A and B are shown apart, each in its own frame.
Chain A
Amino acid sequence: MKRGGFVESTLIGFTRALSRALMSEEIARRRGLLQSLDPRVRVVGLFALVLAVTLSRRLTVVLALFVVAVTIAVFSRVGIGTLAKRVWLVVLAFTGVIALPAIFITPGTSIATFAGGSLRITAQGLATATLLIARVETAVTFTTLLMLCTPWSHVLKALRSFHVPQEAIAMLAMTHRYVFLLVENASQMFESRQSRTVGRLPGPERRRMTARTAGVLLSKSIDLSSDVYMAMQSRGFRGDIRILSDFDMRVWDYVGLFAFLCAGSIAVWTGR
């Protein structure tokens, strides 16, 4: 269906995000390296590697960590194509925009000149931009691997075991759960409106319609939150959520944790 306008595009974006979220659950159920580890090990281990990437000042070390990320992805049965489309190209585009000026404005040895010498690329600028892009690509790859290989529910349980306040976790869980329901609602409302609209409405009318839809969606979400709260109360919720923590660390998990921490420490040490 052809759709135009900011709100419609946003909705399409959310719908795509929903289908990606569903695909992530499928990857999380595969048998692979990361999937075989306790979720707490995945959270701590990948966080340690992200920290190592951030602290490393040497490009070779960051590139080595990038190779580690790709290796983990392969053994966790995450498609390289998926990573390239969802992470590497997007990060390259966004970080590239930020890093591009550094190539020209960083003082240092000139390696190329343009526009009669008024614009020059410096070796130091190129190194800075490359390091920035490599860092962001590697860090985002590790984070994406965590999200792709771990069901959202397990990430939340892992956070709970690190004593993140239960209320914060409940908010994250419900936001994740209900944002998709509201997006579905909004999408249906727009489709229903489109099915009753002939031609293109004038700008002011479109804005009024969008404002009205947003208002309806807001009251729907308020009603929904009130109903959800009552459904929780009905089953005994009295202000303090209790959950089961059924994770169990095995020898393999300790080996994984040790490997992650070693890799992170070596990277930090050599990348000083």
Chain B
Amino acid sequence: MLGCSHFFVPAVSQSGQEGRSLLALLFELQDVGFEYERLPALRGLSLEVAEGESIALLGANGSGKSTLLRILDALYFPSHGSISFCGQHLSPELLTQNGFALSFRRRVALVFQNPDVQLFNPTVFDEVAFGPLQLEWPREQVLSRVSATLELMQIAHLRDRPPYRLSGGEKKRVALASVIVLDPDVLLLDEPTSTLDPRSQSQIVDLIQEWKGSSKTVITATHQLEIVEDIAERIVVLEEGKVSASGRPAEVLSNHELLLRANLVHAHRHSHGTFEHSHPHLHSHSKHEHEH
């Protein structure tokens, strides 16, 4: 069984006052590097994640967000540097140990960016049941948990449908259900709202909010700035495979220079009559208000 050591981290109360909380350190990454066939994706990345934190990983395409999530899920292992989970150094050898693998896979779950990658079973029911079955849960528990999760995610009516016949939003919900069924302590989400219509986006954001409200750790990789305040209490900005900034959403989102440098905003050029000017474009195109 995995146990985590506890340590003090800065925390912000709902009233906005800063204090220190005693939290368990879940992940500790030190100077992590990773390459895809000599092409560096992460370069000396260091990060600590505490139990119960909700973090948004912000970064432009190719900044290393997806790679980092896969390293956190022990699917990739650093080519240099180290990663530990609850104080235990994560290595391929450790993941071959049944006891550790079963416990780790139950506690840490990843939702992939492309739901087609994650939905490989013949029916939605089989898809959601896949994880519990691999983790050797008893049959009755599998049946009851899967049914409850399908109800929770409002996809019970899809239970006998093949996943490849679903819409984009339905596929995302099934992909989320397939990991939420395990009731993981850490939920890793790779671009959970990308390519979704506004209604499906809002439903996914609601689900993440509900999940993080239940004192779970949620790490979401995204480049959609408009959702980060809803889904995270801390933002970690990645640039060229390294952490370039970390802080509360209000601090990071007000740092226009940082956001411009990280390719998270673009200069928005427009005119008011004959006067033409530009400013950083922070928000989605559907929500367009600013002062001059």
Contact = CB atoms under 8 A, between A and B. Distances in A.
B126 A243 contact: yes
Contacts, number: 85
A25 B133 CA distance: 25
A181 B164 contact: yes
A25 B122 CA distance: 11
Most buried by A among B70, B105, B134, B136: B134
Interface residues of B, number: 37
B121 interface: yes
B21 to A, nearest CB: 29
Interface string A209-243: 00000000000000010011011111111100111
Contact of B105 (A176, A234, A242): A234
Nearest to A245: B139
Given A152-B122, A235-B131, A224 B117 contact: yes
A173 to B, nearest CB: 6
A228 B120 contact: yes
B182 interface: yes
Contact of A242 (B75, B98, B134): B134
A236 B102 contact: yes
B133 A242 contact: yes
B120 A242 contact: no
A189 interface: no
Contacts of B68: none
Contacts of B109: 234-235
B105 A153 contact: no
Contacts of B139: 244
A232 B110 contact: no
A180 interface: yes
A180 B122 CA distance: 13
B126 A235 contact: no
B126 A242 contact: no
Contact of A238 (B101, B122, B126): B101
B135 interface: yes
Nearest to B134: A236
Contacts of A233: 75
Contacts of B123: 151, 153
A2 interface: no
Interface in B85-129: 98, 101-102, 105-106, 109-110, 112, 114, 116-118, 120-123, 126, 129
A152 B162 CA distance: 10
Contacts of B117: 224, 227-228, 231
A168 interface: no
Nearest to A223: B117
B101 A236 contact: yes
A103 B116 CA distance: 52
Contacts of A236: 101-102, 105-106, 131, 134-135
A228 B116 CA distance: 9
Contacts of A176: 122
A90 interface: no
B129 A244 contact: yes
B130 interface: yes
A156 interface: yes
B136 A242 contact: yes
A156 B123 CA distance: 12
A250 to B, nearest CB: 19
Contact of A25 (B121, B143, B162): B162
B178 interface: yes
Given A234-B109, A236-B106, A242-B136, 10 more contacts: A151-B122, A151-B162, A156-B122, A177-B120, A227-B114, A231-B112, A232-B120, A234-B105, A235-B105, A236-B134
Q: Which 5 A-B pairs have the closest CB atoms?
A: A153-B122, A236-B134, A235-B131, A236-B105, A242-B133
24 contacts: A25-B165, A152-B122, A152-B162, A153-B121, A153-B122, A173-B122, A174-B120, A177-B120, A177-B122, A178-B120, A181-B116, A224-B117, A227-B112, A234-B105, A234-B179, A235-B109, A235-B178, A236-B102, A236-B106, A236-B131, A242-B133, A242-B134, A244-B139, A244-B142
